C-alpha cells in the first residue's frame, strides 16, 4: 500500500538554495542569513537582491536594483483603467488575482521564459505589485491613485501611494521590516503553487497568478485579516480570554496561531511582536497589542500553540492605518520577491511536479446508458 502524506506534510519534494526553516529551533534564513539579523539590519530592497541573486549586494548593485524597482513601479494606464471598470470584488484578492493576470497582456515578454526575460519580469512584477495594491485601496474608496514617488523607499512609497501622505520615518521603517519578514518562506502553499505552475513551463505571470489565488485562503495569507477582525470583534482586553475560550470550546481555530513547520515560536512573530507594541504605543493605541499579548499567553498556556507571522502583523498594520481587508494583499506586495525567486529556481532545474493519488473510489463499474440509470 502506498503511504499517503496528507497535505504533503513532511514531504521533501526538491532542493532549494533560497530559504531554510528549522521548525524545531524556530530559525528562518534567507540564503543563509538569519531573518532576525536581516530584520534588524537590512532593507526590503536588499533582501530582494539577496533572494534573486543569492548574496548580499555591494553598494552600486543595491543602488542599481533600487533604481530598477523604482522605474518599474508605474503600471500601464490600461491597468488602472481596468481596475476602475472591474466590479467591486467580494474580496480584494479577487481583483489582485485578476489584475496581475492581466499584466501579462501588456508585458512584451509575457511568453518568454528565458532567464533574462524572467529576471526582467520579476523586477516588473515586484515593482508593480505595490502600485496595484495601493491603487486598488484608493479606487474602491472613490479616490484617484497616487503616482509613485521615486524619491521614497519601496516601503515608504507604498504607504504614501495608499494614504496620499508621506509616512513618518518610524512607520516606514517598521513597514520595511514587515516586508523583509514576509519576503519568503520556503515551499509554503502559495510558493509551491507558483512552482507547480512554472514546472509545466508555463509563464511567470501564470505562476504568480496561481500563487495569489493560493495566498488568498484563510489558512495562508488570509489569516492576518481574520486576526484583526477577531480583535475588533473582541473589542477590549478584558473580553479577550472569554472570547478565545469560547472559540476553543467550539473547536474553532484561533487565527494567527499554529504552523505546519514551526513547533516553537515563529521567529517572524518574535520581531512583529515588538513592531506591534512600538507602533501601538507610539500611536497611542496600545490596546490592540495588549489584547494580542493576552491572547498569545492564553494560547500558549492552554494549547501550547504559538503565534505565527499573521498574529502580530494584524495589529501592527491596523495602527499603520492599512484597511483590514487589504492585509492579504500586503503579504503579496512582499512575497512577490520570494515567489519570483522560486520561479527562477524552478525553471533553472525544472522537473514537472506531478504527485500521485491513492485511488479509493469505486472500481469495475459498467457504463449504463442514460435512459436506464
Ligand X SMILES: CC(C)(COP(=O)(O)OP(=O)(O)OC[C@H]1O[C@@H](n2cnc3c(N)ncnc32)[C@H](O)[C@@H]1OP(=O)(O)O)[C@@H](O)C(=O)NCCC(=O)NCCS
Phi, psi of 289 (to 5 degrees): -70, -45
Contact between 223 and ligand X per CB under 6 A: yes
* Active-site hit among 107, 171, 176, 310: 310
Closer residue to ligand X, CB minimum distance, 7 or 361: 7
Minimum CB distance to ligand X, residue 219 (Å): 4
Q: How many residues of this chain interact with ligand X, rule: CB under 6 A? A: 16
Three-state secondary structure call for residue 219:
coil
Residues 167/181, Cβ–Cβ less than 8 Å: no
Q: Which residues contact 351 (CB under 8 A, 6 or more apart)?
A: 14, 199
Contact between 257 and ligand X per CB under 6 A: yes
End-to-end CA distance of the chain, in Å?
34
Residues 156/167, Cβ–Cβ less than 8 Å: yes
Minimum CB distance to ligand X, residue 176 (Å): 21
Counting every residue written for the chain, the total comes to 373
* Active-site hit among 182, 185, 205, 259: 259
Contact between 348 and ligand X per CB under 6 A: no
Contact between 13 and ligand X per CB under 6 A: no
Single out the residue of 260, 274, 287, 294 in contact with ligand X (rule: CB under 6 A).
260
Please name the residue that has the C-alpha cell 541573486: 53
**Angle at CA of residue 276, ends 285 and 19, nearest 5°:** 165
DSSP for 169-213?
Answer: HHHHHHHHHHHHHHS--SS-HHHHHHHHHHHTT--HHHHHHHHHH
Per-residue binder mask for ligand X (CB under 6 A), 174-213, x = binder? ----------------------------------------
Say how many C-beta atoms besides its own lie within 10 A of residue 117's C-beta. Answer: 17
Q: In 86-188, where does DSSP find H-type helix?
A: 92-103, 115-139, 154-163, 169-182
Report CA 15 to chain centroid distance, whole Å: 22
Q: Return d(Cα 72, Cα 23) in angstroms, integer.
A: 36
Minimum CB distance to ligand X, residue 29 (Å): 17
342 catalytically annotated = no
245 catalytically annotated = no
Single out the residue of 92, 137, 256, 338 in contact with ligand X (rule: CB under 6 A).
256
Closer residue to ligand X, CB minimum distance, 90 or 304: 304
Residue 325 gets which letter from DSSP? G
**Angle at CA of residue 222, ends 221 and 226, nearest 5°:** 135
Per-residue binder mask for ligand X (CB under 6 A), 277-316, x = binder? --------------------------x-x--xxx------
Minimum CB distance to ligand X, residue 311 (Å): 7
Closer residue to ligand X, CB minimum distance, 249 or 357: 249
Closer residue to ligand X, CB minimum distance, 228 or 344: 228
Single out the residue of 96, 255, 319, 343 in contact with ligand X (rule: CB under 6 A).
255
Contact between 338 and ligand X per CB under 6 A: no
Closer residue to ligand X, CB minimum distance, 120 or 185: 185
Find the residue with minimal CB distance to ligand X. Answer: 258
Of 311, 217, 216, whose CA–CA distance to 255 is shortest? 311
Closer residue to ligand X, CB minimum distance, 286 or 338: 338
Single out the residue of 121, 259, 273, 335 in contact with ligand X (rule: CB under 6 A).
259
Site residues for ligand X per CB under 6 A: 7, 219, 223, 253-260, 303, 305, 308-310
Active-site residues, by number, are 259, 310
Amino acid at each position: 500500500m502506498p503511504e499517503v502524506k496528507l497535505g504533503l506534510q513532511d514531504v521533501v519534494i526538491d532542493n532549494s538554495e533560497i530559504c531554510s526553516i528549522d521548525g524545531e529551533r524556530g530559525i528562518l534564513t534567507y540564503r543563509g542569513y538569519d531573518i532576525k539579523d536581516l530584520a534588524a539590519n537590512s532593507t526590503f530592497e536588499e533582501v530582494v537582491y539577496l533572494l534573486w541573486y543569492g548574496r548580499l549586494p555591494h553598494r552600486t548593485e543595491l543602488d542599481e536594483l533600487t533604481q530598477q524597482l523604482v522605474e518599474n513601479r508605474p503600471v500601464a494606464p490600461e491597468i488602472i483603467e481596468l481596475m476602475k471598470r472591474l466590479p467591486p470584488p467580494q474580496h480584494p484578492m479577487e481583483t489582485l488575482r485578476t489584475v496581475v493576470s492581466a499584466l501579462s497582456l501588456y508585458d512584451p515578454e509575457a511568453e518568454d521564459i528565458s532567464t533574462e526575460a524572467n529576471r526582467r519580469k520579476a523586477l516588473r512584477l515586484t515593482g508593480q505589485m505595490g502600485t496595484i495594491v495601493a491603487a486598488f485601496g484608493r479606487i474602491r474608496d472613490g479616490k484617484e491613485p497616487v503616482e509613485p514617488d521615486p524619491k521614497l523607499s519601496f516601503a515608504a512609497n507604498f504607504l504614501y501611494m495608499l494614504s496620499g501622505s508621506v509616512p513618518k520615518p518610524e512607520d516606514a521603517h517598521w513597514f520595511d521590516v514587515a516586508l523583509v519578514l514576509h519576503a519568503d518562506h520556503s515551499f509554503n502553499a502559495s510558493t509551491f503553487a507558483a512552482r507547480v505552475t512554472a514546472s509545466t513551463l508555463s509563464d511567470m505571470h501564470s505562476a504568480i497568478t496561481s500563487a495569489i489565488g493560493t495566498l488568498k485562503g484563510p489558512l495562508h495569507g488570509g489569516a492576518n485579516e481574520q486576526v484583526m477582525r477577531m480583535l475588533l470583534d473582541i473589542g477590549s482586553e478584558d473580553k479577550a480570554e472569554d472570547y478565545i475560550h469560547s472559540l476553543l470550546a467550539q473547536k474553532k481555530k484561533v487565527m494567527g496561531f499554529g504552523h505546519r513547520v514551526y513547533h516553537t515560536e515563529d521567529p517572524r512573530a518574535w520581531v512583529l511582536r515588538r513592531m506591534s507594541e512600538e507602533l501601538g504605543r507610539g500611536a497611542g493605541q496600545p490596546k490592540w497589542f495588549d489584547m494580542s499579548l493576552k491572547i498569545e499567553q492564553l494560547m500558549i498556556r492552554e494549547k501550547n500553540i504559538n503565534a505565527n507571522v499573521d498574529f502580530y502583523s494584524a495589529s501592527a498594520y491596523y495602527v499603520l492605518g492599512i484597511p483590514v481587508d487589504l492585509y492579504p494583499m500586503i503579504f503579496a506586495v512582499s512575497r512577490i520577491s520570494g515567489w519570483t525567486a522560486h520561479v527562477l529556481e524552478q525553471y533553472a532545474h525544472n522537473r514537472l511536479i506531478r504527485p500521485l493519488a491513492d485511488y479509493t473510489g469505486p472500481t469495475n463499474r459498467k457504463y449504463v446508458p442514460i435512459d436506464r440509470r
